[in-house]
Amino acid sequence: MLETKHLTKKFGELQAVSDVNLSISRDGIHSIIGPNGAGKSTLFHLLTGYLKPTEGEIRYNEEDITGLAPRKIVRKGISRSFQIADLFEGLTVKENLQIATQALDEKRNAIWMSSDALTTTLEKTDQLMADLELSELSDVRADALSHGDQRKLEMGLALAVEPDLILLDEPTAGMGKQESVQMMNLIQRIVNDRDIKLILIEHDIEMVMQISDRITVLNRGEILAEGDPKEIQANERVQEAYIGTEGE
Amino acid sequence: MERDPILSVDRISSSYGSGLVLEDVSLSVKEGEVVGLLGRNGAGKTTTLRSITGVIKPLAGTIEFDGRDITDLPDYEISNLGISYVVEERAVFPDLTVEENLRMGGIKQSDGIMTIEEILEWMPRLEERKSLKASKLSGGEQQMLAIGRALRSKTELLLLDEPTEGLAPQIVQDVIETIRRIRDQDIPILLVEQNLNTVLEVADRVYILEQGRNVYEGSVTDLRNDDATQQEFLGVGTELTDKITD
Amino acid sequence: MIHHISLAAFDVSTTQLVFLLLNGLALSMLYILIASGFAVIFGITDVLNFAHGIFYMLGAYLAFTVVDATGSFFVALILGPLVVAGLGIAVERLTLHHIYDRSPLYHVLITFGVLLIVTDVVELIWGTGTKFFPTPELLGGAIAIGPVIYPRYRIFTIGAGALIAFLTWALFRYSDFGLIVRAGAQDKQTVRLMGVNIGRYYTLIFGLGTFLAAIAGALAAPFLSVNPEMGNEALIIAFVVVAIGGLGSFGGSIVAGVIVGFVQTFTNTFASELSGFVLYGLLFGVLVLKPEGILGTYEIREQAAKLSYDETIKPVNLTDRRVMAVVGLLLIIPFVSRLPSVSQYGVGLIALMFVWGIFALSLDTVIGYTGLISFGHAAFYGIGSYAVALLTVNFTNSFVIALAVAILFAAAVAWLVGAISARLSGLYFAVVTFAVGQMLYQLALSWSSFTGGSNGFAIDHVMLFGIIDLSETFAFYYISLLLLVSLYYVTKRIMDSPFGLQLQAIRESERRAKFVGYDTNKAKRRIFAISGAIGGVAGALVTTRQTFTSPDSLYWIVSGDALFAVILGGVGTLFGPIIGGAVLIGLDQLLTIYFDQWRMILGFVLIVIVLFAPRGLVSFYYILEDALGNDRDADPTASAGSDADSINGDK
């Protein structure tokens, strides 16, 4: 479904992502893990057009999408969330999701009609709010939401554009254990219901092992290992570089 | 011998705009002691350090340093009292040279524990690169520079936020070695870590936070032998439980 | 081309070339001095200081007075700038210091307010005439340099300029002060963690920037004339040089100062008809080729504060019934007034208030809804004005045709401006729009065969349907009211549309808007065209009423006033800016009857509004309503706010 070849991004001397060859299939949840600074977020930036790669190419459903602008990549069916929520802060939850949903409508640029006349958009917005358990907060400004609800809305903005592939960058960042588990359950449910392929960056190893079908471990911009959770757990290089020797 | 605490944090609560991040967090650091502060991402470790250093003001509770209430002091005055803080993102000044970064450390406090020469002697990688801009350094070098810069300023207590995060194993060892050498100079350290092993290697005592609250306090020896606590709060252990399914 | 000409000249006369090079050098030094203080302040504090030119002018006037009193030029050269620096420090402490965390729009407006005040203070003390500033005796006469005889004072200027630029550079490069402010420009929080009270350094930087401005003014005084216009000239030079060099880059302003100085000198000599365009031509070239400037970087240090609503202050809710009540009242006003002489004046004034309401409305669509700080809206106002004037003189005096042409031209130019600057955001955007506006102003000044030059020209009465004379007060009143009300509803409808929602998304987070699939650059071009069209209507109306146009309609002060009106009324509410525009022009016209220095009063009003009521007059109304104990639930916006609170409280 998604493939990269020799994907490389340099910032001056620093190789944030170097020679990454990924091949991600349509089925299951694919997680990308690695310590801070391993290049996970940079990889997402490259895949979604936020950064242009220094070298290499990205193919999505056999099509070359390297260097396309973010809005064009979204139209191909790839959307993403950010690690630090990037919301339309001064607008309400409903307006946030309405803006994102409306982006799919062919009348999105219309100037001589009320935005509330796009009934399909409004219905989809309401449905999405319900799915995200945000309906009660519909008229609350995004910057007045609790941290957990902001994370949900962040994901909602990515879901609203009806992607086939969604990239979530630490959707549970800053949440407690309990809340994280609930969030992850919510994510899994939505992704299954809507048949969306999920690529996940996540910090919590335990959670990753639990829900992923495939895992890629990045370290200092390079792929250190790739495999199913069992293989990753058994991989000595991963143990050494990332998880650390255990127990003692 | 029971030593006096140089830092006492007493039931502080803090927040960023919406929602409480810390609730009634207490901890203390005694003279000459290395204290580890552990917890998952988002448990409130960094917020604790930011509250101590005055970057954010706690909504409730008190913080005493060296017998003095510093809860309401501005951040720069707290720094001038001798609390040095190495933040998680390293925060070296990218467009200043290595040497200028070090100069910034002691810009208001000439009584740092080391001179620039001593720091450069101690960290030879930086000596070679002292005229380069900090943005040209590798992650490990930037971390060493951030620690070195902190040592240039008056340091009666050092706060380190995840100093080994994202570094290669070899460099992690260098950083741990550096922490040991600072400890050997009798400078108390409050060390925030996600990596249990780093803490087990250098700390005397440990606190664990979970969702902004204290959940564990004990000596390193106790924690080392306490697999249950390790699993419950830090998510490490030899086997993975299936509690995710909830 | 210039290179070629200078070589040809070399064959003719070595003397001439040396003379030109020295002139170029002197001018470069002056430009560097003017620009560097501006660059220093912007580079460290992110404040675009519109009062820079005024501090430069104050430096010149103070030097003049000190020389008058003491007879010593050198005392004046130090004393004057020190006084001005003190003033700069006071301004920073009293105003900017408290609002660094707000949108840069407010910083711009504070400095604009300072400009209004100091301009009048200078006029009050020194009058409006040009002062003759004698060349200091020691530096009088000329000396021989190689084959040329060159004025000694200019040599002194070259030396002094180079020395000051060098000292400033060294201060930043080597001193602790310089190290701290450079570090602070990268990361304020970390600097505070080094024990530094960075706020104090911001104040000092503002003092240093104004000191540099004033010393440039004092140095320039003996060979340029000292007059109230010199401040504006310097401001524009500072803007253009800094934009060419790279916003906030001290080195960039030096490189750009040299380039502009030499190009200007050679153009003055070999192609004097183009000399007014050198600044803008170079700027335009840079903006097209490398929008961030020669030595500028595209890196944005910290996300500038957004201009979204402050949740705690809600503007009053404007229902259609309230609008109708107000419009009904306005419809009968002309009939109620009995005294013909008074009513003529009053009705005319209210009509002018409508026009400024339209103009402020046009700016609000860009600033309040899209979050783009346009500092060049005078361009569209002026185009509207000239379109009507030129059409009436050359073709037809039909209002309908003239208005259509005005709208078309203003929209087309606005679309282009939007296209050029769409890539930019925040203050870069303000700088580019400012430059485009000034470029058109320069064009109107210079292309006198077409535009009548600086005096402008008068036109015939413009007729509606061939029978109604629109220069007549009552007819004009009603046509303006009609256009104001229609444009308000048109704009409101556009802002309620899917496109309008998209604009608000851009204001809140352009990045996110892109990531949900919007073509944000296209949206910016379109809203600029719409905004320009509405601005063009305002300009067209003014000219219709006054049967006259001049380059003043394109001058950047008009853009500043429009921004003032938007903030005064209440940014992002459409009707707020209409009220703001009306009140501003109303105050303007009334105060001018009683006070000579009325702009000064407006300056104070602006600063007070920015500091204490940033949501403008429409929030006053709400605060008042609240204080009178009206039922809060009657206002739907208020109940939404309290909902949010209770939900938060539960968490």
Instruction: Give the pLDDT confidence of C437-454 residue by residue, as tens digits.
Output: 888 898 888 887 787 777
pLDDT in tens, C140-169: 788 887 778 888 888 999 999 999 999 999
B160 and B129 in contact (C-beta within 8 Å)? no
Q: Is the pLDDT of residue A189 over 80?
A: yes
- The predicted model gives A127-148 an average pLDDT of 91
The amino acid at residue C246 is G
How far does C617 lie from chain B, in Å, by closest CA? 28
Q: Name the residue among B95, B100, B109 with its Cβ closest to that of C195.
A: B109
A31 lies within 8 A of chain C by CB: no
For position C188, what pLDDT does the model report? 87
How far does B53 lie from chain C, in Å, by closest CA? 8
For position C648, what pLDDT does the model report? 34
Encode B15-43: b = buried (16+ Cβ within 10 Å), e = exposed.
Answer: beebbbbbbebebbbbeebbbbbbbbbbb
Please state whether beta strands B34-38 and B60-65 pair in parallel, antiparallel, or not at all (unpaired).
unpaired
pLDDT in tens, C50-73: 999 999 999 999 999 998 888 888
For position C297, what pLDDT does the model report? 66
CB contact under 8 A, A110 and C494: no
For position A45, what pLDDT does the model report? 93
* Residue A218 belongs to a domain: yes
| Structural domain harbouring A4 | 1-71+196-248
User: ipTM, 2 decimals?
Assistant: 0.93
The whole-chain average pLDDT of chain A stands at 88
State the Cα–Cα distance between residues C417 and C361, nearest whole angstrom: 19
Place C321 in a pLDDT band, splitting at 50, 70 and 90. Answer: confident
Two domains, one topology: C15-271 and C321-647: yes
Q: Is the pLDDT of residue C548 over 90?
A: no
3-state secondary structure of A33: strand
Residues of C in contact with A116 (CB under 8 A): 496
pLDDT in tens, B184-218: 888 999 999 877 888 888 999 999 988 888 988 99
DSSP letters for C304-355: PPP-PPPTT-PPPP--HHHHHHHHHHHHHHHHH---HHHHHHHHHHHHHHHH
State the Cα–Cα distance between residues B115 and B106, nearest whole angstrom: 9
Give contacts of A 101-130 with C, CB under 8 A: 102-105, 107-116, 118
Task: Quickly count: other Cβ atoms within 10 Å of residue C76's Cβ.
Answer: 25
Burial (0-12, 13-18, 19+ Cβ within 10 Å), A245: exposed
How far does A114 lie from chain B, in Å, by closest CA? 33
> Domain C321-647 class?
mainly alpha
How far does B227 lie from chain C, in Å, by closest CA? 33
Burial (0-12, 13-18, 19+ Cβ within 10 Å), C50: buried
Give contacts of A 51-80 with B, CB under 8 A: none
The pair phi, psi for residue B232, each rounded to 5°, is -65, -45
State the Cα–Cα distance between residues C218 and C532, nearest whole angstrom: 40
Q: Which residue would you say has higher pLDDT here, C272 or C539?
A: C539
Place C339 in a pLDDT band, splitting at 50, 70 and 90. Answer: low
Q: Name the residue among C508, C517, C640 with its Cβ closest to that of A89.
A: C508
- Per DSSP, what are the bridge partners of residue B25? B12
DSSP letters for B99-159: HHHHHHHTSS-TT-SS-HHHHHHH-HHHHHTTTSBGGGS-HHHHHHHHHHHHHHS--SEEE
Q: Is the pLDDT of residue B12 over 80?
A: yes
CB contact under 8 A, B19 and A147: yes
CB contact under 8 A, A181 and B224: no
Encoded tokens for B203: 């700390």
CB contact under 8 A, B18 and A12: no
How far does C23 lie from chain A, in Å, by closest CA? 41
pLDDT in tens, C392-410: 888 888 888 889 999 999 9
Measured between CA atoms, the residue of chain A closest to residue B39 is A176
For position C597, what pLDDT does the model report? 83
Domain ranges of chain C: 15-271, 321-647
CB contact under 8 A, B238 and A37: no
State the Cα–Cα distance between residues A9 and C353, nearest whole angstrom: 56
Q: Is the pLDDT of residue B242 over 50?
A: no
What is the fold, at CATH topology level, of the domain defined by C15-271? ABC transporter involved in vitamin B12 uptake, BtuC (1.10.3470)
A89 lies within 8 A of chain B by CB: no
A217 and A34 in contact (C-beta within 8 Å)? yes
For position C481, what pLDDT does the model report? 94
State the Cα–Cα distance between residues C311 and A90, nearest whole angstrom: 8
Place C645 in a pLDDT band, splitting at 50, 70 and 90. Answer: very low
Alpha-carbon Rg of chain B, whole angstroms? 18
* Residue A50 belongs to a domain: yes
Q: Is the pLDDT of residue A212 over 80?
A: yes
Q: Name the residue among B55, B74, B93 with its Cβ closest to that of C183.
A: B93
State the Cα–Cα distance between residues C218 and C80, nearest whole angstrom: 8
Which of C644, C631, C649, C580 has its CA nearest to residue C610? C580
pLDDT in tens, C94-148: 999 998 888 888 999 999 999 999 999 999 999 888 888 888 877 878 888 777 8
Q: Name the residue among B165, B169, B242 with its Cβ closest to that of A36.
A: B165
Q: The domain that contains A53 carries what CATH number?
A: 3.40.50.300
Encoded tokens for C324: 């109708």
* Residue A8 belongs to a domain: yes
Alpha-carbon Rg of chain C, whole angstroms? 26
State the Cα–Cα distance between residues B221 and A88, nearest whole angstrom: 48
Task: Quickly count: other Cβ atoms within 10 Å of residue A234's Cβ.
Answer: 11
How far does B224 lie from chain A, in Å, by closest CA? 8
* Residue A248 belongs to a domain: yes
CB contact under 8 A, B135 and A145: no
For position C637, what pLDDT does the model report? 40
| Contact partners, residue A66, CB within 8 Å, separation at least 6 | A53, A56, A57, A58
The amino acid at residue A189 is R
State the Cα–Cα distance between residues A43 and A50, nearest whole angstrom: 10
- The predicted model gives A13-33 an average pLDDT of 88
Q: Name the residue among C186, C193, C651 with its Cβ closest to that of B75.
A: C193
B19 and B11 in contact (C-beta within 8 Å)? no
Q: Is the pLDDT of residue C25 over 90?
A: yes
pLDDT in tens, B210-236: 888 898 899 988 888 888 887 777 664
- The predicted model gives C204-209 an average pLDDT of 95
User: How far from B39 is each of B16, B48, B90, B139, B219, CA to CA, in Å?
Assistant: 19, 12, 20, 23, 16
Residues of C in contact with A102 (CB under 8 A): 498, 501-502
Q: Name the residue among C311, C494, C498 with its Cβ closest to that of A108.
A: C498
How far does C92 lie from chain B, in Å, by closest CA? 21
The whole-chain average pLDDT of chain C stands at 84
Interface test with C, best of A45, A76, A88, A145 (most C CBs within 10 A): A88
Chain A partners (3+ C-beta pairs within 8 A): B, C
CB contact under 8 A, B91 and C187: yes
For position C636, what pLDDT does the model report? 39
pLDDT in tens, B106-159: 888 878 888 888 888 888 888 888 899 988 887 778 888 998 999 898 899 999
Please state whether beta strands B34-38 and B189-193 pair in parallel, antiparallel, or not at all (unpaired).
parallel
* Residue A35 belongs to a domain: yes
A236 lies within 8 A of chain C by CB: no
Q: Name the residue among B17, B238, B244 with its Cβ closest to that of A246.
A: B238
Q: Is the pLDDT of residue C494 over 60?
A: yes
Which of B59, B56, B57, B51 has its CA nearest to residue B9? B51
CB contact under 8 A, C644 and A141: yes
CB contact under 8 A, B238 and A211: no
For position A247, what pLDDT does the model report? 30
Task: Quickly count: other Cβ atoms within 10 Å of residue C188's Cβ.
Answer: 18
State the Cα–Cα distance between residues C638 and C648, nearest whole angstrom: 16
CB contact under 8 A, A139 and C515: no
State the Cα–Cα distance between residues C498 and A125, nearest whole angstrom: 14
Residue contacts between B and C (CB atoms, under 8 Å):
69
State the Cα–Cα distance between residues A59 and A199, nearest whole angstrom: 15
Task: Quickly count: other Cβ atoms within 10 Å of residue A182's Cβ.
Answer: 16
- The predicted model gives B79-98 an average pLDDT of 89
Tokens 């400009």 correspond to C115
3-state secondary structure of C374: coil
Tokens 């390079």 correspond to A222
- The predicted model gives A7-33 an average pLDDT of 87
How far does A218 lie from chain C, in Å, by closest CA? 25
For position C365, what pLDDT does the model report? 95
CB contact under 8 A, A144 and C648: yes
* DSSP 8-state secondary structure symbol assigned to residue A152: H
Residues of C in contact with B154 (CB under 8 A): 195
* Residue A230 belongs to a domain: yes
C212 and C37 in contact (C-beta within 8 Å)? yes
Place C298 in a pLDDT band, splitting at 50, 70 and 90. Answer: low
| Contact partners, residue C390, CB within 8 Å, separation at least 6 | C450, C451
CB contact under 8 A, C195 and B153: yes
- Per DSSP, what are the bridge partners of residue B60? B13
State the Cα–Cα distance between residues C470 and C581, nearest whole angstrom: 22
Which of C533, C532, C542 has its CA nearest to residue C388? C542
Q: Is the pLDDT of residue C214 over 60?
A: yes
For position C632, what pLDDT does the model report? 42
For position B241, what pLDDT does the model report? 32
How far does B173 lie from chain C, in Å, by closest CA? 26
DSSP letters for C191-237: HHHTT--HHHHHHHHHHHHHHHHHHHHHHHTTTS-B-TTHHHHHHHH
Residues of A in contact with C494 (CB under 8 A): 111-112
Tokens 């006003």 correspond to C333
DSSP letters for A194-243: TT-EEEEE-S-HHHHHHH-SEEEEEETTEEEEEE-HHHHHH-HHHIIIII
Task: Domain count for chain A, please give it.
Answer: 1
Q: Is the pLDDT of residue C627 over 80?
A: no
For position C315, what pLDDT does the model report? 57
For position B244, what pLDDT does the model report? 29
State the Cα–Cα distance between residues A88 and A101, nearest whole angstrom: 14
Chain B partners (3+ C-beta pairs within 8 A): A, C
How many residues are there in chain A? 248
* Residue A117 belongs to a domain: no
Alpha-carbon Rg of chain A, whole angstroms? 19
| Contact partners, residue A211, CB within 8 Å, separation at least 6 | A29, A31, A184, A188, A200, B244
| Contact partners, residue B172, CB within 8 Å, separation at least 6 | B164, B195, B198
3-state secondary structure of B91: coil
